[in-house]
């Protein structure tokens, strides 16, 4: 009985002495990611601009309304382009010995830490735009729900491959 008690310990930890994940250095995403985001936003802007122009010339009775909505859309898209810029600057990832940290978001920042021994599988994806720009997305699936899955988009393809290889190796060796 006494030996059992000696083995069991549950001491309080000092919060201030814990290692800080915020101290790790985050790698930024490639600047081509910004191009990708801006192309997407740009396509959205063009579609709306086209619709407004068509409406302006075809529906004469709504001319004023359409002009006002154009004025309304301008700051929205300027904001979206600025947001893309901030996203590219703020999103980042870091690799530690036992886990991967992914930080994303501008106004609403979210940091996910996935330990390698909880990673189920890894997948590298490229959509059409990614292929032109030479970038990839790396999706890391963890056990459990989709809330803990992370997708790091905007990695240079060769970095994505290297990262995938490194994660796979650690997933296999960590058991």
Tokens of 123: 């997948």
Q: Give the HSE-up count for residue 106: Cα atoms under 13 Å, Cβ half-sphere.
A: 11
Residue 31 contacts other proteins per CB under 8 A: no
Q: How far is the CB of 78 from other proteins (least distance, A)?
A: 30
Q: Does 164 bind other proteins (CB under 8 A)?
A: yes
Token representation of residue 85: 């810029």
DSSP output for 140-171: EEESS-GGG-EEEEEEEHHHHHHHHHHHHHHH
Least distance from C-beta 121 to other proteins, angstroms? 5
Minimum distance, C-beta of residue 129 to other proteins, in the bound complex (Å):
10
CA 122 to chain centre: 15
Q: Is 165 in the site for other proteins (CB under 8 A)?
A: yes
Q: Is 150 in the site for other proteins (CB under 8 A)?
A: no
Q: Does 115 bind other proteins (CB under 8 A)?
A: no
Among positions 38, 124, 156, 159, the unique one binding other proteins when judged by CB under 8 A: 124
Nearest distance in Å: CB 157, other proteins: 11
CB neighbours of residue 109 within 10 Å: 10
**Binding residue (CB under 8 A) for other proteins from 27, 42, 70, 126:** 126
Q: Which of 63, 89, 96, 169 contacts other proteins by CB under 8 A?
A: 169
* Shorter beta-carbon distance to other proteins: residue 75 or 175: 175
As a whole number of Å, the end-to-end CA separation of the chain is 34
Look at strands 150-156 and 92-95 and give their pairing.
unpaired
φ/ψ of 101, rounded to 5, equals -115, 130
The count of residues in the chain is 175
Told to check if 44 binds other proteins by CB under 8 A, we report: no
Residue ranges in contact with other proteins by CB under 8 A: 119-128, 131, 141-146, 164-165, 168-169, 171-172, 175
């Amino acid at each position: 009985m006494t030996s059992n008690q000696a083995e069991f310990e549950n001491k309080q930890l000092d919060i201030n002495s814990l290692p800080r994940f915020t101290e790790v250095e985050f790698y930024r995403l490639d600047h081509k990611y910004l191009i990708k985001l801006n192309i997407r936003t740009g396509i959205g802007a063009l579609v709306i601009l086209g619709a407004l122009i068509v409406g302006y010339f075809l529906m004469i009775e709504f001319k004023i309304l359409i002009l006002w909505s154009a004025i309304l859309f301008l700051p929205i898209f300027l904001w979206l382009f600025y947001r893309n810029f901030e996203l590219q600057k703020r999103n980042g990832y870091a690799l530690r010995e036992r886990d991967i940290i992914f930080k994303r978001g501008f106004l609403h920042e979210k940091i996910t830490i996935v330990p390698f021994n909880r990673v189920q599988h890894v997948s590298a994806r490229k959509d059409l735009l990614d292929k032109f720009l030479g970038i990839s997305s790396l999706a890391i699936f963890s056990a459990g729900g989709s809330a803990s899955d992370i997708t790091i988009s905007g990695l240079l393809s060769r970095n994505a491959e290297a990262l995938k290889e490194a994660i796979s190796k650690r997933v296999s060796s960590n058991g």
